[in-house]
A = this chain, B = another copy of it.
Amino acid sequence: MPTASPDQLVHQLNWRYATKKFDPAKKIPADTWKALEQALVLTPSSYGLQPWQFLVITDQAMKEKLVPISWRQTQSADCSHFVVFTARRTLTETDVDAYVRRTAEVRSVAVDTLGKFKGMMMSQLVPPPTGFDIHQWASLQVYIALGNFMTAAAMVGVDTCPMEGIERKNYDEVLGLSSSPFATVVACAAGYRAADDKYATLPKVRFPAEVVVRHL
């Protein structure tokens, strides 16, 4: 299968913008969504631990319930698929074991052969070193997923809007996460821009490459 060309990459990333107004009539086709969901699943993470869960919301009533707890931004209601990125609140030996078992399963090896791998993760993360906040660490990993998701979507021509302006505790309550191992971190709307979203044509504001990139 051919890779994308460098021009195609830059073209799609320039095409991308934080969509303010989605066309509520346009839904992401099933095969495209399946690929984007697969992109989420394939996101790399620290030790491969995947300390996250992605909530994909397409139910219209639920999407509308999120508007008042999203600084009244309407993207959740108007987009096709609304993704809430959640991160683990804590990390226990049970969680590490689940990952080790999954590794053994996927790679067809005995769990016992992964003792060193488990020990390495345990020694770094369970319990976490003083001053090391697991939820913060997991949140960083979730932002890899966010970056991956937005770029993946741009490459296949799907619009997105990352949303940090959300009331996380209220999200947790509405989404039934309050006593789950996962807490809301950030969200991202996905779908297709409305024809009259005036933000679509505004020039993208970035510092010049000379300012943000240094060569050594």
Contacts and interface: CB of A to CB of B under 8 A. Distances in A.
A10 B141 CA distance: 20
A8 B18 contact: no
A203 B54 contact: no
A192 interface: no
Interface string A134-163: 001001110111111111100111000010
Interface string A162-191: 101000000000010000000000000000
Interface in A181-216: 202-207, 209, 212-216
A205 to B, nearest CB: 5
Contact of A106 (B62, B205, B216): B205
A42 B147 contact: no
A16 to B, nearest CB: 8
B157 A57 contact: no
A147 B151 contact: yes
Given A107-B202, A136-B136, A216-B175, A39 B10 contact: yes
Closest 7 CB pairs of A and B: A147-B147, A6-B35, A143-B143, A3-B157, A144-B147, A147-B148, A151-B151
Given A11-B1, A136-B136, A147 B155 contact: no
Interface of A: 1-14, 16, 18, 31-32, 34-44, 46, 48, 50, 52-59, 62, 98-99, 102-103, 106-107, 136, 139-141, 143-152, 155-157, 162, 164, 175, 202-207, 209, 212-216
B106 A204 contact: yes
A176 to B, nearest CB: 9
Given A3-B157, A9-B36, A53-B212, 9 more contacts: A6-B31, A13-B38, A41-B207, A52-B212, A55-B214, A56-B216, A106-B205, A107-B202, A139-B140
B9 A41 contact: no
B155 A9 contact: yes
